[in-house]
Amino acid sequence: MLRRPSLLILAAAVAAGAWLRPQSSTSETASDQAKGTTVTPLTRSWERAVPAQDTPDGLETLRAAECGECHSAIYEEWKTTAHALALEDLQFQAEWRKDDNLWLCLNCHTPLENQLERIVTGLKNGDFRSPVAHPNDRFDATLRDEGITCAACHVRDGTILGPGLAEDAPHPVASGAGLLSQQMCEGCHNVQEQLSETLICTFATGDEWRASGLAEEGKGCIDCHMPAVMRPLVEGGDVRPGHEHTWMGAGVAKLPQLVEPLRMAHVPGYDVEVRARRTSSDTGEKVLIDASIMNARAGHELPTGDPERFITLDLVLLDDSDVSHWSHTERIGELWEWAPEAKQISDNSLKPGERREFHYAVSLSHGVDDLLFVEIIARNHRMTEENARAMGIYGRYPLAVETIHQYVSVVEAREERKVHEQW
């Protein structure tokens, strides 16, 4: 089997320290200078982490658990998210190991300098595999393991950014309007780079949102992924406007114990409709099935983000004894060839508002007189079983979530008008 290249998963995704190996990094020396090495400065946003932050007065650390002592509801939400698991995530760990724990991946998976063992300041001769780095005397291993932690977004210059309304907070507070901006999300969710023939980073969610027209309507990421909520910001506090910190996406859990809670809370971004009718002619009996799937609620393509994600729509023609007479699967998403060079083969992802129709004519065997049904199952997939096996994570990592499961009766042709009127 050909080696798959790494995908730089510079998006929502936190890990046990035992899983981490030292970051590959170097420091410029006099010998390097003598050899004519040129240090190229870092210029792209994702090449740098958020600058190291001081612990605000009134707090002992920048760690999420300390935030959770007062902001318990938000903390409990965050713990179940892809943000909290950004470093621990088995897919990220497998991809990261294949590229020798490449330093730049951490700028989105542990985005605060306080979380990095070494600080990269430049690249030798512009080569991303030859970083110029120095030890970080402000490194906090516990904070590192929290992935995309509270402080990465909410702490700047010794102040907690948020609503900024609390007059009796135990720490300095200020209004952080930028926290709800597109730029806050797009720093990691809109990065598209090909660093080598086999090493790519392709996240175009921000560009997809701009193409959707929702920007003109004043709608952005937080409207769906951080819904507004009225609740106390702290235990025992006044009820006030705030936002959920769940960042719900495709609903595929990162940990087995989160599969069912996420499935119950998830609402798919697409709608599926299926109609089926039975017809007779001189050539025999057929079932005509009309199906559609529509990107009804997402302001970006479905699927989006990691190009390994895809959607399947399974249709099965059953009789009332659960005997299958036909089945078919539609696949929606990107297809890539990974070796010897990474390149996209196709992409049939659903654009915002797009409705896609499928039509099937199923010939019935002679003597099928039973009532017939079409079983419909839609699933969101994180990756294929083949890729999970290649990464060594198959059986330990949730790969898909069932989003829709329903049945539609097959009607006789003479009943078709009545059924259409009901629909």
- DSSP string covering 39-65, please? EEEP-SGGGSPBPP-PPPTT-S-S-HH
pTM: 0.88
Closest listed residue to residue 406, CA positions, set 291, 323, 296: 291
Q: Based on the domain organization, do 229 and 263 belong to the same domain?
A: no
Q: Based on the domain organization, do 115 and 47 belong to the same domain?
A: yes
Closest listed residue to residue 109, CA positions, set 93, 125, 122, 120: 93
Residue 302 region by backbone torsions, left for phi larger than 0, else alpha for psi between -120 and 50, else beta: beta
Q: Based on the domain organization, do 236 and 269 belong to the same domain?
A: no
36 lies in a domain?
yes
- What are the respective helix, strand and coil percentages of the chain, to the nearest 5? 25, 30, 45
Q: Based on the domain organization, do 184 and 294 belong to the same domain?
A: no
Whether residue 47 has pLDDT greater than 70: yes
Domain boundary among 194, 210, 243: 243
Each residue of 263-321: pLDDT tens digit? 999 999 999 999 999 998 888 899 999 999 999 999 999 999 999 999 999 999 999 99
7 lies in a domain?
no
Q: Based on the domain organization, do 84 and 189 belong to the same domain?
A: yes
186 lies in a domain?
yes
Q: Based on the domain organization, do 97 and 54 belong to the same domain?
A: yes
Q: How many Å apart are CA 76 and CA 270, to the nearest integer?
A: 28
Number of domains in the chain: 2
More confident residue, 184 or 423: 184
- Pick the range with the lowest mean pLDDT from 8-12, 140-144, 264-268, 370-374: 8-12
Q: Based on the domain organization, do 207 and 352 belong to the same domain?
A: no
Contacts of 179 (CB under 8 A, 6+ apart): 153, 154, 161, 162
Domain boundary among 221, 243, 265: 243
Q: Based on the domain organization, do 61 and 198 belong to the same domain?
A: yes
Q: Based on the domain organization, do 88 and 186 belong to the same domain?
A: yes
49 lies in a domain?
yes
5 lies in a domain?
no
Q: Which amino acid is at 395?
A: G
Q: What was the pLDDT predicted at 137? A: 97
Q: Based on the domain organization, do 347 and 416 belong to the same domain?
A: yes
- Pick the range with the lowest mean pLDDT from 39-43, 148-152, 287-291: 39-43
Residue 283 sits at the vertex; the CA angle it makes with 281 and 287, to the nearest 5 degrees, is: 65
154 lies in a domain?
yes
More confident residue, 144 or 412: 144
Q: Based on the domain organization, do 230 and 345 belong to the same domain?
A: no
Joined together, the tokens standing for residue 238 give 């006044």
Q: How many Å apart are CA 336 and CA 77, to the nearest integer?
A: 34
Closest listed residue to residue 303, CA positions, set 348, 264, 336, 271: 348
Confidence grade of residue 35 (pLDDT, cut at 50, 70, 90): low
Residues in the chain: 423
Where in the sequence is the domain holding 373, given as residue range(s)? 256-422
More confident residue, 300 or 31: 300
376 lies in a domain?
yes
Each residue of 171-212: pLDDT tens digit? 999 998 888 899 999 999 999 888 888 888 889 999 999 999
Q: How many Å apart are CA 299 and CA 182, to the nearest integer?
A: 12
CB 195 within 8 A of CB 335: no
Q: What was the pLDDT predicted at 32? A: 56
CA distances in angstroms from 55 to 61, 152, 153, 224, 291, listed in the order given: 6, 12, 14, 31, 55
